[in-house]
Structure 1
Amino acid sequence: MKPQSRRAAAAAAAVPTGTTTDAASGAPSAPDAPGRVPSRDRHAVAVSVPALVMFALGLWGLDRGGMWRDEAVTFQVSGRTVPQIWRLLHEVDAVHGLYYLLMHAVLAVHPGEVVLRLPSVCAAALTAGLVAALGARLVRPRVGLWAGLLYAISPMAGHYAQEGRSYALVAAGATWATLLFVRAVRRGSWWGYGAVLGVTCWLHEFAVLLLLAHAVSLALARAGVRVWRGWGCAAGTVSLALLPMVLVSREQSAQVAWLRVPTVETAQGLLRTFLGPADGMYWTCLGLAVLGLAGLAGRRGELTCAGVCLPLAVVPPVALMLVSQVSPLYVDRYVLYALSGAPVLVAAGAERMAGALGRLPAAGRRVPALPHSRLRSSGGPPVALRNDCPHDDEPPKRCPAPRDRPHDGGALNGPHSSHPPPAVPRPGRVRRPLIVGVRWLGRPSQVAGLAGVLGLVLVLVQQFPLLRDDRSPERRPDDLAAVSRVAARRLRAGDSVLFLPAQARNVALAYPGAFRGARDVALAESGAESGTLYGREVDPGTLRRRMARLDRVWVVADRDLLAGRWKPGSHVERAKLAVLAQEFVPGRELVQGEVAVRLYVRPSRVGGAP
């Protein structure tokens, strides 16, 4: 047997029966005391409770009665055939290709808005459980429970849990990959980490920034060559697998031309979103997170909670913001997965503060001296009363009292006595945990757990209005269902419709019933046939000839575009505006949010316009 194997066998034999192993360091931990919940069960509870809470919150108000523009894209693209989706990905939106194929299978069961959002709800619930598992592995199950619940009641997590887009799934994959990263550093198996992270990056390519976060974690841990080699092989495999998407998506960068350069205010807004929008909660969580940064770099080769979670929360957003100074690519939903690190840091800080409070002495508390607290024998060392309990469940152990001796007129205390009087200390201040003052609440761990639950309840009460308001369609940039209801009340079969810009056709693709029988003036080829999102439109000359035959046309348009607050770059869009301004006058207008449904008529028909 090799010396290393003999040492491992000896170490395993030295661990008593019933002793568990610490998940983060691998060191043996104390056995579960009689009557306490086993460690494995505590871990299961810590993981399952946040997942169930997140799932319940995700189902609450899931049917908002309307999709916004990005959800509508998911809905109408996923409803196409697989060859049509494949053709689309070569033209536009390749970054969401795997998600569209997944949703194609989901919506084949039942096409509807609730089913559209159910994968995001399940993914968010899984993420909450994985955040709890990460906290339990790096610190302890109680920290994992707090962290998972903080994630579950976060407004940002709840928002994307109810959105038919890929971001909640990316967050689940990234958190799972981080958990596998921690395990791989300890055990040396990297294939699971590489596989999960590779699939996550194909759900959205910006998840590759997680590799930078994990590299920083290894640097903080001062990992050995073997660990760096294993991680490097996994990272290289993920990068090579992602290369085709990167090459294709670079040709489709016009899709994000609307993005702007992030500023310091952008970073501050993201930090407030991670920790809590309200001032009181924000500063409290920020202070706890800073407290949780203690021990950022542990022993050589050992990952710490702060060493894993701080890079996870900070590195991807910062890296994307820095890149966006040259080429704007930053949107907060692109780095939603970084949110997973923040609750663990806050929970670890709360755990550290609870431990510090438990070690404080009871201020001003005086306790009387206990009898027989220190006995001195005739030639031996002092025998002390053991009054400290290493485990909360064990009662204090007292030394046996000395046998009674007959009192012979003070011989016991006399000068010739071989038994000197016991040394009784004077009453005074005794260092005892502050938690002794509230012993009636239970064990210190129970008191800390109760305080954590109460804190989470207060956080939930404070954020409940935000969670409730987020269930309203008004919290999204637009409500295409409301626009379709307006159009359905006014449009009749045979009416002509003009979408300005072409992206406004999204409402007809998502809710075709409202536009059934209407004629799309500018459309040359549908999106499914042309391999585009919104269809291919006619050239400006053809558009002018078509509109010359019309006396009235319904226009579904962006209000800012109609008001001249921005100018379109397409020749077709400019031709639409020019024909409307030169040959038509606006009539009846129905506005729904940022989208206007307006009737345009020729001047000769103004008086008789219906």
Structure 2
Amino acid sequence: MRIGVPAPDPYGRRDRIVLVVPALAALVGGLWGIRRGSMWQDEATTYAVAGRDLTDLWRTLGNVDAVHGCYYLLVHPLVRLVGDAVPAEVVIRLPSVVATAVAAAGVAAVGRRLASATAGLYAGLAYAASPVVVFHAQDGRPYALVAAAVVEATRLLATALGRPPGDPSGRRTWARYGLAVAVACLLNLFAVLALAAHAVTVLAAAPARKGLGAGRGVARRWAGAVAAALTAVLPVAWAAFGQRGQVAWLERPGLPEVKALVARFAGTGVLLAATVVLVALGLASSRGGGPAGNGGTRRAADAAGPAPGDPIRRGSPGIAMVAVPLAVLPPALLLAVSQIQPLYQDRYVLFSVVGLALALGAGLARAVRLLPGAAPGWLRAAAALALPALLLAASLPAQAAVRRIDSRRDDPAAVARIIGSERRPGDAVLFLPSIRRLVAEAYPDSFRGVHDAALRAGGAESGTLAGRELPAGRIAASLDTAPRVWVVSRPHPAPGDLSSPRDSAKRLLLRESYRRERSVRVLGYVVRLYTRVSP
């Protein structure tokens, strides 16, 4: 294929299969077991905030959670339109399922462009089957959507770097790249860490581009697209900075967090060992393009049987140039910054799994090619199916684990069931501390008729996550002579969590005027029932 001559059909039948199969696998995997029967606390936040009227939602974002504002606005119409027709926990997870399917197709497209159709197919399937990806596909939070936007930005970056100089579609590609970066960062500001990986990719591809007379120009266009994207994100970043106290609870990560990150992203035991071997194979087979052609990348694609209209171009980055920076740099930078200002959570860099999946897909494709040339076709076909199947089998225990309720830190639905089934007229409820009121925000029917004795204004009315409470001196009068009081708290709250005057007043009232009848522990919570002591 001559440089500058467009492929007759860049997405033929075989190419569509490469994209569709991983997308369908991700969709099935995301829908399987999606209704666990409970939202955990962060999902309860999504449901409570996204379901508010737009006026109340906007007021809330002015006080708290502005960093997730665009995500809440995206989920808002879905929650409002569907209503009670679909269980709440399913509704808020559907965007994540769809985003994961889109991301899996995008990973396949990147792998196909940078290596081969086979490598792309395997990379997309590896991403779809990753337990941590499935975890977030079934989570009503923005991280699966962030990963999908980063995948699209990565695909557009690979496309732009493979364009011949003077290609009239180049400007449109860079504009779409900037848009994808802006969307990713608006959904979560930590997506900006992906830009460090993209910068390395652009710099690594520069020698090949210089051979085409376009190395410096590509870097300028990339910087311009990034600058435009970040300018659009500045208002959200400014608002989130003003609310940075929300992450004050995070602690400085250490070696245990690094080990947990590796286990969560790459697996443990046999799965980890297989992943390491296959990634090494994939990276060993990847060499960037150069002035004389795509070198090892082109030959690897030919060996795997490239589809007609294969879009690999001279100057395209090798798969290692994209996969390694994306897999390593974002988590490494976040860990490093968190030594100074603790910000680390592995979900903030979920998109780094994309780099791992790309390398893994290339490794699987190369493992199939390592069979002797004289091997019969049926043996090659069997190997092509067996290798990913074995990898999937090794991940099945982790796949099952992420679909259980105890894969999350708490089970608010269990609290709601206890109170909803045993409440009586005249009962009151206290939350220690007030943020536990999100249980009632997520499952209001179970608390209907139960007097929230400390509540002054609900979350929507006050523009907060869990409402504003009465002054400490007024809680006793509000509680009045309630014969029974339900108390919802963590099993072992830290002393600082209950140190506010309001929480101290609640605990004093319970000690002086009530007797604890029983205590029920569920995942992440303890529900206590107190009865009033006669004067």
* Band of TM-score, shorter chain: 0.7 to 0.9
* Residue 513 of structure 1: aligned partner: 445
Q: 1:249 to 1:569 in 2, by over 3 A?
A: farther
Q: Does 1:310 pair with 2:300?
A: no
Alignment partner of 2:449: what SS?
A: coil
* Residue 245 of structure 1: aligned partner: 236
Q: Does 1:435 pair with 2:365?
A: no
* Residue 70 of structure 1: aligned partner: 42
Correspondence 1:326-337 to 2 at 5 A: 326-337=340-351
Correspondence 1:147-226 to 2 at 5 A: 147-187=123-163, 188-189=170-171, 190-222=174-206, 224-226=215-217
8 Å contact kept, 1:142–1:449:
no
1:215-259 superposed Cα distances (whole Å, 9 cap, x missing partner): 011122235110111001011111111111111111212222222
* Residue 303 of structure 2: aligned partner: none
- Number of residue pairs the alignment of both structures matches: 492
- In 1, distance between residues paired with 2:386 and 2:440? 48
Larger helix fraction of residues? 2
Structure 2: gaps (5+ residues): 164-169, 210-214, 292-314
- Offset of 1:202 from its aligned partner? 0.6
- In 2, distance between residues paired with 1:454 and 1:344? 19
Correspondence 1:485-500 to 2 at 5 A: 485-500=417-432
8 Å contact kept, 1:560–1:566:
no
Q: Does 1:600 pair with 2:530?
A: yes
Correspondence 1:386-465 to 2 at 5 A: 434-436=372-374, 438-439=375-376, 441-442=377-378, 447-465=379-397
1:139-195 superposed Cα distances (whole Å, 9 cap, x missing partner): 000001111111111111111111111111111111011001111223333100001
Alignment partner of 1:62: what SS?
A: coil
TM-score between both structures, scaled by the size of structure 1: 0.76
Quick one: which of 325, 333, 356 aligns to 1:319?
333
Higher relative contact order (CA 8 A, sep 6+): 2
1:532-559 superposed Cα distances (whole Å, 9 cap, x missing partner): 0100011111124434644542211221
- Offset of 1:494 from its aligned partner? 2.2
* Residue 59 of structure 1: aligned partner: 31
Quick one: which of 38, 63, 71 aligns to 1:99?
71
- Offset of 1:122 from its aligned partner? 0.7
- In 2, distance between residues paired with 1:495 and 1:586? 14
8 Å contact kept, 1:551–1:602:
yes
Alignment partner of 1:292: what SS?
A: helix
1:318-372 superposed Cα distances (whole Å, 9 cap, x missing partner): 11111111111111111111111101101212333444x34xxxxxxxxxxxxxx
- In 1, distance between residues paired with 2:499 and 2:116? 56
- Offset of 1:595 from its aligned partner? 1.3
- In 2, distance between residues paired with 1:514 and 1:569? 28
Structure 1 residue runs of 4+, over 6 Å off? none
Structure 1: gaps (5+ residues): 1-7, 24-38, 359-433, 606-610
Alignment partner of 2:430: what SS?
A: strand
Quick one: which of 220, 223, 226 aligns to 1:229?
220
Alignment partner of 1:604: what SS?
A: coil
Q: Does 1:79 pair with 2:51?
A: yes
Alignment partner of 2:373: what SS?
A: helix
8 Å contact kept, 2:334–2:343:
yes
8 Å contact kept, 2:271–2:395:
no
- Offset of 1:298 from its aligned partner? 4.8
* Residue 254 of structure 2: aligned partner: 263
- The residue type equivalent to 1:64 in the other structure is R
Q: Work out the percentage of aligned pairs sharing the same amino acid.
A: 41
1:89-127 superposed Cα distances (whole Å, 9 cap, x missing partner): 110000111111111111122133322211111111111
Q: 1:352 to 1:458 in 2, by over 3 A?
A: closer
How large is the Cα RMSD of the aligned pairs? 2.3
Alignment partner of 1:524: what SS?
A: strand
8 Å contact kept, 1:201–1:208:
yes
- Offset of 1:511 from its aligned partner? 0.9
- In 1, distance between residues paired with 2:421 and 2:483? 20
Q: 1:567 to 1:61 in 2, by over 3 A?
A: closer
- Offset of 1:12 from its aligned partner? 6.6
Quick one: which of 506, 513, 516 aligns to 1:576?
506
Quick one: which of 6, 19, 32 aligns to 1:47?
19
Select between 153-162 and 568-577 the one with higher mean Cα deviation.
568-577
8 Å contact kept, 1:131–1:175:
yes
1:428-452 superposed Cα distances (whole Å, 9 cap, x missing partner): xxxxxx231x32x35xxxx545313
- Offset of 1:63 from its aligned partner? 1.6
